[in-house]
């Protein structure tokens, strides 16, 4: 089989590897679709992010789905031919955080396509993948492999919205409308948000936000003053999902979220300063959101239903042979929201 392996920044290679035979409780997946994530782009563009660097060749990818090709002994959840979304999160189940049910903070996490540990955790951009059957979530009829592969980023957003607390009836601000911000619109609406306002730097992103369910959009390219309409009486919004990773966006959110409101920092853009006087004076709840766990099954359930439509986010699907072109397209926000790879000829 073929894999998509990165050796250093801008050095993507299609390489050969053994597919393997499923053991007890394992499943071999004929991979069908995989979405290019922001972390994949960081590895491609810069060879890593922050202090995390590629130190050995690593297969990329973790937003994936495919068809069950073979099953090992004892497998009961899925059968040959099933289309499944693959949960890339593999906690150890025995560390102190797993014992507390905080699986996304596992001390021995094996998350596909991650250079955080060494040796690196190899990823899922490959034509066949051996997985534990517990990682497989069967999707509903009529759902495409591309839609199924959206379960992973949607899980991130479901977890982020869950971190916000009670969303039902709330006024929600979402800052940044890349793929994660866009999926947060769907997640917040599913959680019962009463009003969703989205801000971004480009009209194109905001037009997309309105198309998938934002009640109002604000172009903030002129600066934070564009949100001044929401700052009266100490703030308008109950919740902000900060999906851009921008320090300026976080500062703006603090001025327009009401006292005792909640800001969920979901976007990652490096360390940023926080005006703590405002946090204290307004008694703000500033919380982080990292990956997901139980939300993955819920994401697949929602995508398999008529309640959530992720199809509009899929801008293009390119074959594995055109991976470099796909990554370059994914880098261009003016042309693409979510770019996916197809792994079968």
Q: What is the DSSP string of 68-121?
A: EEEE-TT--S--TT-EEEE--EE--S-SHHHHTT-GGG-TT-EETTB-SSSS-B
Question: What is the pLDDT at residue 322?
Answer: 97
Q: At what angle do helices 295-303 and 151-163 cross, to 10 degrees?
A: 120
Structure tokens at 290: 């990292």
* Under 8 Å between Cβ of 66 and 129: yes
Q: List the beta bridge partners of residue 58.
A: 6
Question: What is the pLDDT at residue 111?
Answer: 95
Q: How many CB atoms lie within 10 A of CB 280?
A: 9
Return the ∠ at Cα 214 (arms to 210 and 216), rounded to 5°: 85
Question: What is the pLDDT at residue 269?
Answer: 79
Q: What is the model's pTM?
A: 0.95
Structure tokens at 169: 């009836």
Q: For the chain, what is the mean pLDDT?
A: 96
Question: What is the pLDDT at residue 225?
Answer: 85
Question: What is the pLDDT at residue 223?
Answer: 81
Spatial CA neighbour of 315 closest among 20, 35, 1: 35
Question: What is the pLDDT at residue 268?
Answer: 85
Which residues of the chain, if any, have pLDDT below 50?
none
Peptide bond into 94 cis (omega under 30): no
* Under 8 Å between Cβ of 200 and 177: yes
Question: What is the pLDDT at residue 270?
Answer: 78
Question: What is the pLDDT at residue 344?
Answer: 82
Q: How many CB atoms lie within 10 A of CB 167?
A: 21
């Amino acid at each position: 089989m073929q894999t998509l392996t990165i050796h250093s920044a801008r050095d993507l290679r299609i390489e050969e590897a053994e597919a393997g035979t499923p053991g007890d409780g394992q499943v071999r997946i004929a991979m069908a679709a995989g979405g290019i994530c922001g972390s994949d782009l960081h590895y491609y563009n810069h060879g890593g992010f922050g202090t995390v660097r590629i130190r050995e060749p690593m297969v990329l990818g973790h937003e994936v789905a495919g068809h069950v090709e073979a099953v090992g002994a004892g497998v009961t959840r899925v059968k040959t031919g099933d289309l499944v979304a693959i949960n890339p999160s593999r906690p150890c189940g025995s560390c102190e955080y797993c014992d507390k049910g905080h699986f996304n903070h596992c001390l021995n996490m094996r998350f596909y396509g991650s250079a955080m540990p060494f040796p690196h955790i190899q990823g899922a951009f490959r034509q066949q993948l051996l997985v534990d059957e517990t990682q497989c979530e069967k999707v509903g009829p009529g759902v495409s492999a591309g839609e199924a592969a959206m379960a992973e980023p949607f899980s991130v957003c479901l977890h982020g919205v869950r971190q916000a607390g009670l969303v039902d009836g709330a006024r929600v601000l979402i800052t940044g409308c890349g793929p994660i911000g866009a999926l947060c619109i769907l997640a917040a609406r599913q959680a019962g948000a009463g009003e969703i306002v989205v801000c971004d730097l480009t009209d194109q992103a905001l037009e997309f936000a309105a198309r998938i369910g934002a009640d109002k959009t604000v172009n903030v390219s002129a600066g934070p003053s564009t949100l001044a309409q929401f700052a009266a009486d100490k703030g308008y919004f109950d919740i902000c999902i900060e999906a851009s990773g921008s320090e300026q966006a976080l500062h703006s959110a603090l001025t327009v979220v009401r006292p005792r409101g909640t800001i969920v920092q979901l976007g990652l853009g490096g360390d940023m300063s926080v005006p703590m006087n405002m946090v204290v004076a307004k008694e703000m709840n500033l919380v982080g959101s990292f990956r997901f766990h139980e939300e993955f099954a819920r994401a697949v359930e929602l995508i398999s239903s008529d309640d959530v439509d992720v199809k509009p986010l899929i801008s293009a699907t390119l074959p594995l042979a055109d991976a470099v072109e796909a990554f370059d397209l994914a880098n261009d926000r003016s042309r693409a929201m979510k770019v996916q790879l197809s792994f079968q000829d």
